[in-house]
Amino acid sequence: MTSRPEQDMETNVTVVSAADMTDARKGGNTRKVFVRTYGCQMNVYDSERMTDVLAPEGFEATDDLEDADLVILNTCHIREKAAEKVYSELGRIRKVKEERAKSGKDMMVGVTGCVAQAEGEEISRRAPIVDLVVGPQSYHQLPSLLEKARAGSKVVETEFDIDAKFNHLSERAEKQVLKRPPSAFLTVQEGCDKFCTFCVVPYTRGAEVSRSVEQIVSEAERMAAAGVREITLLGQNVNAYHGTSPDGAVWGLGRLLRRLAEIDGLDRLRYTTSHPRDMDDDLIEAHRDLKSLMPYLHLPVQSGSDKILKAMNRRHTRDEYFRLIDRIREVSPDIALSGDFIVGFPGESDQDFEDTMDLIRQVGYGSAFSFKYSSRPGTPGATMDEQVPEDVKSARLAALQALVAEQQKAFNASRLGMTCDVLLEKTGRNPGQLVGKSPWLQPVQLDAPEDLIGSIQAVEIVDIGSNSLFGRLIAGQDDLGRSGRIPAPAA
């Protein structure tokens, strides 16, 4: 997913600092919190909410670790390396903490997220500087947990009570939203009941729980009122969403999107990450019916081999995936498809891998993420026979990534000469430059005045880079307040 923080929950480690995330009490005795976020967008969203609940306690976010009174590592457990990075980061933090102690300053250290959930007390045993370990369902309790830790006890809170979390975190002050970019995340469900045999999510995030329609709509309305133009609905298995509406009916994701599309000022909607089995007709048709639903879909398939799909417990065949893609392209021919692939799952033969390459060739992706299988303790995959040697995994990953890179280049090149709506999000690297997002989720760089940040502009795509597009603002057209794309005659 382009830059993975934008895209997937379970990804390359990404680091997002929270400097502009809080609305800390000004003046008075402010304390500084440094939040480092690993993994998926769900963690990015959770980190923002943690800084939200800490703000009334007088915490202001900082980018400077050495300046922090409280350090939070919001962790990811999806692959082994992600957890190891946390431990090595804790080693670095220990040194900073010791330095601060020399000048009489304290530093508290918290580990949150999926490593916290999975490893619990083991974390403070392995890294004694850790004062508190808090699982993803308990962030609303941070202030009181912090109090306990400050009083001297090691705190480990890994209860599963997701409803309580949603209820307590649902209030989000407009002032806080305003400080954030015009594109925001909104969690609509958490957890997963699919139990793919390689995946820790059902264990770290628990069973699938959907927020109520009312809660989501009111959070989205507050975001829109504060200037958010694009919302990405988040969930580990987002299209399994089944939230209760005010009249007690159960709504799927398609229906929820239709309702959110009615909110004034919300010009763009996205959702991630989906499972092929949960792509129902209503959701597919929403891509046809809703102008604000962006033409981008992240739909991981993981493997193109029926044998491996079965061993992964993905609950669908290769052919069923092809048929699904056909139906989606029927209603949205121009959609940018993205996916996740795992190479080297136990038992994957050369032929199985070839089947994956063949699937990729047949589908044609706009982008995709790929990973070497990483054995996760406690998952069925970890004890399967025929684990694939590391060098074979590496060779397969390189081949797959080369193929996807080619497809991404071709997809980007096909945008050349088009005019499309771009949501301008932030300043670029060079003076006078802004960076925005195309309907297909590609970053677009262009020269434009800073006061256009937060607006949607018609932009002609004039050049293509490896990951981003380069555009030219179309003069005379200001904020169109519309989404989707306007096909233009080729240049």
What would the DSSP string read from start to end of 124-140? Answer: HHH-TT--EEE-TT-GG
**3-class SS at 106?**
coil
Q: Count Cβ neighbours within 10 Å for each residue of 54-79 and write b for 16 or more, e otherwise.
A: bbebbbbbbeebeebbbbbbbbbbbb
Binding residue positions: 40, 76, 114, 192, 196, 199
- Would you say 172 or 393 has its CB closer to ligand 5AD? 393
Binding partner at 256 among ligand 5AD, ligand SF4, none, C-beta below 5 to 8 Å by kind: none
Token pair 């398609």: residue: 254
Pairing assessment for the beta strands 59-61 and 31-37 based on DSSP bridges = parallel
Q: Select from ligand SF4, ligand 5AD, none the partner in contact with residue 237, using the beta carbon and a kind-dependent cut-off of 5 to 8 Å.
A: ligand SF4
Nearest to 462 by CA among 410, 419, 399, 398: 419
Spell out, one character per residue from 321 to 360, where the chain touches ligand 5AD: x when CB under 6 A holds, - when not.
-------------------x-x------------------
Between 80 and 289, name the residue whose CB sits nearer to ligand SF4: 80
Binds 460: which of ligand 5AD, ligand SF4, none (CB < 5-8 Å by kind): none
Stretch that binds ligand SF4, among 56-64, 66-74, 196-204, 258-266 (CB under 6 A): 196-204
- Joined together, the tokens standing for residue 475 give 């003069």
CA dihedral sign of residues 244, 249, 253, 257: negative
Restricted to residues 221-260, the positions that interact with ligand SF4 (CB under 6 A) are: 236-237
Find the part of the chain contacting ligand 5AD (CB under 6 A) among 185-193, 202-210, 370-378, 461-469.
370-378
Which of these, 42, 44, 119, lies nearest to 86 by C-alpha position?
A: 119
Q: Among candidates 37, 49, 47, 45, which has minimal Cα distance to 12?
A: 37
Q: Does position 11 bind ligand SF4 by CB under 6 A?
A: no
Nearest approach, Cβ of 274 to ligand SF4 (angstroms)? 9
3-state secondary structure of 93: helix
Ordered DSSP codes for 247-293: TSPEE-HHHHHHHHTTSTT--EEEEE---GGG--HHHHHHHHH-TTB
**Residue closer to ligand 5AD, measured from CB, 194 or 437:** 194
Segment 453 to 472, residues that bind ligand 5AD, using CB under 6 A: none
For ligand SF4, how many residues bind (rule: CB under 6 A)?
A: 10
Query: Which of ligand 5AD, ligand SF4, none does residue 157 bind (CB under 5 to 8 Å by kind)?
Result: none
Asked if 343 contacts 359 with a C-beta cutoff of 8 angstroms, the reply is no
Q: Min. distance of Cβ 9 from ligand 5AD in angstroms?
A: 6
Beta partners for residue 445, in sequence order: 435, 470
Nearer to ligand 5AD, 199 or 238 (CB): 199
Q: Which does 8 bind (CB under 5 to 8 A by kind): ligand SF4, ligand 5AD, none?
A: ligand 5AD
Q: Is 46 in the site for ligand 5AD (CB under 6 A)?
A: no
Per CB under 6 A, which region of 24-32, 57-65, 66-74, 197-205 contacts ligand SF4?
197-205
DSSP 426-480: EE-SSTTEEEEE-TTS-EEEEE--GGGTT-EEEEEEEEE-SS-EEEEE-TT----
Assess 199 for contact with ligand SF4 (CB under 6 A). yes
* Three-state DSSP class for residue 372: strand
207 binds ligand SF4 (CB under 6 A): no
Per CB under 6 A, contacts with ligand SF4 among 266-325 are 275
Which stretches of the chain bind ligand SF4, using CB under 6 A?
A: 192, 194-196, 199, 201-202, 236-237, 275
